[in-house]
């Protein structure tokens, strides 16, 4: 049964506000840095590390001072750069960076809590505990990643891959998505007294060949697509970040809509939401960039043009499309509009 329209709007508004608030926190870190680097303060304790060796003591130093010291062969003590403005908020590719927390909060609210119309008071404490565990795991994982990143005594890469793929906010949200899916798959937020029996694996054999054939067909299709996008400078040059998201899209698509076209054709409504939602999202961020001048869309971008040259103005398009295809696909499932059409269901019955 599809969700009521008012609940659909409420869910979309809530996850959008939460994503915006989350991004605002990381933007605040950027504003604190300004035109300075956060460098590791090695004067405090053993190598300046504390909190289980994960977080460094950092201090702000002007970029010119850091660059001069790190490039001067006569100076032996080099600065260890921890972060710079842009590593946390990713304003130059804001449309990409906003999409990841959007997916994360959608999974947390709709699929774990059951918000807004399936919040079970009996299970709510367990589900809140699951989200708390997800947040803790996400933070710890990111502290490890940031600790590793801080060991590289180099100027952070001044390109879209650093901003869109490796800065702290996206790492946190990606980990939040991963752990949420893991905890949901393990059923840790349910533990219902009426557990359903595991499916009989003997029935899987007849479908295995078809599943694998169509999965590899889709993977081949997105591989060709990614090669075409990279060749036309519509994706990151190294393609690794983009391609990984397209692979995730293939896996989620087959899980949501079935493993062959005979199932996809019956789920036209959900697929339409995915495609139309993505098409409508792109101009929203395009207009947002024009309105703010600082929050980039990731494609057709004056910010990227200024930073990387006009030939790289669209290198965020592949990530934009793949991320929002995933979001709207998940959204269609959250509002229960990804199933077969009524006519198809009645005919099957």
pLDDT above 90: residue 109: yes
Rg from Cα positions in the chain: 23
Within-domain flag for 328: yes
Query: Cα dihedral angle (205, 210, 212, 214), rounded to 10 degrees?
Result: -160
pLDDT above 60: residue 65: yes
Contacts 24+ apart (CB under 8 A), 8-13: 8/335, 10/116, 11/106, 11/109, 11/110, 11/115, 11/116, 11/331, 11/334, 11/335, 12/331
pLDDT above 90: residue 326: yes
Q: Identify the domain containing residue 282 by its residue range.
A: 206-339
Q: Which strand (E) or helix (H) includes residue 39?
A: strand 36-40
Q: What pLDDT does residue 182 have?
A: 67
Query: Are 348 and 13 a contacting pair, CB within 8 Å?
Result: no
Instruction: Work out how many domains the chain is built from and give that number.
Output: 1
At 290, list the tokens: 């024009």
> 148: Cβ–Cβ under 8 A, 6 or more apart, which residues?
none
Within-domain flag for 260: yes
At 231 the three-state DSSP class reads helix
Within-domain flag for 238: yes
Q: What pLDDT does residue 152 have?
A: 52
The percent of residues above 70 in pLDDT, for the chain, comes to 77
Strand pairing category for 58-62 and 49-50: unpaired
Q: What pLDDT does residue 156 have?
A: 47
pLDDT above 60: residue 139: yes
pTM for this entry: 0.81
Q: What pLDDT does residue 18 have?
A: 94
Q: Which strand (E) or helix (H) includes residue 40?
A: strand 36-40
pLDDT above 80: residue 287: yes
Q: What pLDDT does residue 146 have?
A: 65
Say how many residues make up the chain. 349
Q: What pLDDT does residue 100 have?
A: 87
Which of residues 236 and 159 earns the better pLDDT score? Answer: 236
Nearest-angstrom CA–CA distance, 285 and 265 = 30
pLDDT band at 327 (very low <50, low <70, confident <90, very high): very high
Within-domain flag for 132: no
pLDDT band at 82 (very low <50, low <70, confident <90, very high): confident
Within-domain flag for 249: yes
Query: Cα dihedral angle (129, 177, 37, 54), rounded to 10 degrees?
Result: 50
Within-domain flag for 242: yes
Least confident of 4-18, 42-56, 95-109, 217-231: 42-56
Q: What pLDDT does residue 158 have?
A: 43
Nearest-angstrom CA–CA distance, 65 and 54 = 26
Q: What pLDDT does residue 324 have?
A: 96
Q: What pLDDT does residue 197 have?
A: 54
Would you tell me how many other CB atoms lie within 10 Å of the CB of residue 141? 17
Which of residues 210 and 260 earns the better pLDDT score? Answer: 260
Within-domain flag for 303: yes
Which of residues 49 and 333 earns the better pLDDT score? Answer: 333
At 86, list the tokens: 């842009």
At 182, list the tokens: 């893991």
Would you tell me how many other CB atoms lie within 10 Å of the CB of residue 73? 5
Q: What pLDDT does residue 346 have?
A: 47
Which of residues 274 and 307 earns the better pLDDT score? Answer: 274
**DSSP code, position 37:** E
When the pLDDT of each residue in the chain is averaged and rounded to a whole number, the result is 80
Contacts 24+ apart (CB under 8 A), 318-321: 318/226, 318/229, 318/230, 318/234, 318/235, 318/236, 318/242, 318/246, 319/93, 319/96, 319/164, 319/235, 319/236, 319/241, 319/242, 319/245, 320/95, 320/96, 320/99, 320/281, 320/282, 320/285, 321/278, 321/282
Within-domain flag for 285: yes
Q: What pLDDT does residue 21 have?
A: 93
Least confident of 166-175, 216-225, 296-305: 166-175
pLDDT above 70: residue 166: no
Query: Are 166 and 100 a contacting pair, CB within 8 Å?
Result: no
pLDDT above 60: residue 189: no
> 199: Cβ–Cβ under 8 A, 6 or more apart, which residues?
none
């Amino acid at each position: 049964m599809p969700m009521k329209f008012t609940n659909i709007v409420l869910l979309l508004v809530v996850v959008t506000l939460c994503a915006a608030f989350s991004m605002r926190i990381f933007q605040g870190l950027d504003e604190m840095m300004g035109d300075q680097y956060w460098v590791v303060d090695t004067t405090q304790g053993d190598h300046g590390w504390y909190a289980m060796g994960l977080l460094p003591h950092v201090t702000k130093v002007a970029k010119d001072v850091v660059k001069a010291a790190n490039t001067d062969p006569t100076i032996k003590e080099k600065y260890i750069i921890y972060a710079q403005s842009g590593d946390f908020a990713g304003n130059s590719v804001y449309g990409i960076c906003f999409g990841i927390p959007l997916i994360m909060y959608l999974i947390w609210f709709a699929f774990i809590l059951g918000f807004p119309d399936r919040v079970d008071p009996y299970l709510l404490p367990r589900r809140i505990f699951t989200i708390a565990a997800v947040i803790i795991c996400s933070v710890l994982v990111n502290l490890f990643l940031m600790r590793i990143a801080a060991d590289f005594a180099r100027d952070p890469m001044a390109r879209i891959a650093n901003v869109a793929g490796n800065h702290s906010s996206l790492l946190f949200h990606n980990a939040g998505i991963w752990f949420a899916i893991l905890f949901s798959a393990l059923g840790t937020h349910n533990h219902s007294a009426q557990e359903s029996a595991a499916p009989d694996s003997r029935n899987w054999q007849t479908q295995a060949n078809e599943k694998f054939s169509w999965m590899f067909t889709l993977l081949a299709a997105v591989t060709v697509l990614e090669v075409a996008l990279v060749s036309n400078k519509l994706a990151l040059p190294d393609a690794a970040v983009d391609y990984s998201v397209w692979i995730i899209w293939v896996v989620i698509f087959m899980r949501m809509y079935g493993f062959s076209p005979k199932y996809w054709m019956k789920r036209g409504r959900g697929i339409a939401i995915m495609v139309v939602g993505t098409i409508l999202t792109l101009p929203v961020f395009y207009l947002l960039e024009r309105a703010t001048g600082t929050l980039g869309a990731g494609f057709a971008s004056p910010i990227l043009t200024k930073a990387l040259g006009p030939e790289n103005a669209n290198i965020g398009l592949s990530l934009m499309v793949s991320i929002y295809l995933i979001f709207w696909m998940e959204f269609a499932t959250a509002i229960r509009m990804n199933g077969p059409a009524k006519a198809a269901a009645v005919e099957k019955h």
